[in-house]
């Protein structure tokens, strides 16, 4: 993770850093250094017990770090994506809800697909049915037996979905579950 820290520092990008600190999941950030879009993201999680605002850079990367979120301008984030994408699982996309540019950085092996496969094995399930709306759902859709994109999902996800269901604002997933799960 030191490579990510160094690369983001060189590009003057201050991320939101997800980690386990003393056995508790936290997301750490420097309030005075994050972008307005990241500030909006943090404020939308005002009651989140994981929130960890910091006043020093050296504390930002403490603990067992597993995920970085950067939200900002394409011209700021694209160089970081190009630099890190070969070594890490980097998701670079515009958010479907507010059109902000996002860069998510994780270890290479971390994906929704790997998580779903582990759950399938652990729970002894016969198949995987997934739901999604964003680019971070593509890997999960690719390994699912059935996959449903909500109407407001990214076009790329809708193209590989088993079907498109009503959107988030219409409780599409909840309605699908109510009709199809016994």
- b/e per residue, 16-54, with b = 16+ CB within 10 A? bbbbeeeeeebbbbbeeebbebbeebbeeeeeeeeebeb
Question: In CATH, what is the architecture of 2-106?
Answer: 2-Layer Sandwich (3.30)
Instruction: Identify the pLDDT of residue 87.
Output: 94
CA distance 159 to 144: 14
pLDDT mean for each 10 residues of the chain (182 residues): 90 95 95 92 92 89 93 94 95 84 93 95 96 94 97 94 94 95 84
Q: What are the extents of the domains in the chain?
A: 2-106, 112-180
Answer yes or no: same fold for 2-106 and 112-180: no
Instruction: Identify the pLDDT of residue 9.
Output: 92
Instruction: Identify the pLDDT of residue 57.
Output: 79
Instruction: Identify the pLDDT of residue 158.
Output: 97
Residue 152 and residue 96 in contact, taking contact as beta carbons nearer than 8 Å: yes
Residue 79 and residue 22 in contact, taking contact as beta carbons nearer than 8 Å: no
Q: Which of 45, 43, 4 is nearest to 25 (CA)?
A: 45
Instruction: Identify the pLDDT of residue 10.
Output: 94
Quote the CATH superfamily of domain 112-180: HAD superfamily/HAD-like (3.40.50.1000)
Instruction: Identify the pLDDT of residue 114.
Output: 94
Strand order in the sheet with 24-29: 51-53, 24-29, 16-21, 64-72, 101-106, 89-94
pTM of the model: 0.82
Q: How far is CA 172 from CA 12, 116, 129, in A?
A: 40, 21, 14
């Amino acid at each position: 993770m030191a490579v990510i820290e160094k690369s983001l520092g060189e590009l003057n990008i201050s991320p939101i850093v997800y980690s386990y600190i003393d056995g508790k999941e936290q997301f750490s950030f420097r309030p005075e250094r994050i972008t307005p879009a990241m500030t909006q993201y943090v404020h939308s999680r005002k009651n989140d017990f994981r929130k960890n605002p910091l006043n020093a850079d050296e504390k930002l990367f403490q603990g067992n770090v597993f995920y970085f979120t950067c939200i900002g301008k394409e011209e700021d984030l694209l160089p970081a994506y190009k630099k890190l994408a070969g070594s890490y699982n980097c998701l670079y996309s515009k958010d479907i809800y507010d059109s902000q540019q996002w860069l998510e950085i994780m270890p290479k092996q971390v994906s929704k697909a790997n998580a779903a496969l582990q759950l399938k094995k652990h729970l002894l399930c016969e198949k995987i049915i997934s739901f999604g709306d964003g680019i971070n759902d593509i890997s999960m859709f690719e390994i699912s037996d059935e996959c449903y994109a909500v109407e407001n999902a990214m076009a790329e996800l809708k193209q590989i979905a088993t079907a498109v269901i009503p959107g988030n604002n219409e409780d599409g997933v909840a309605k699908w579950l109510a009709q199809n799960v016994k």
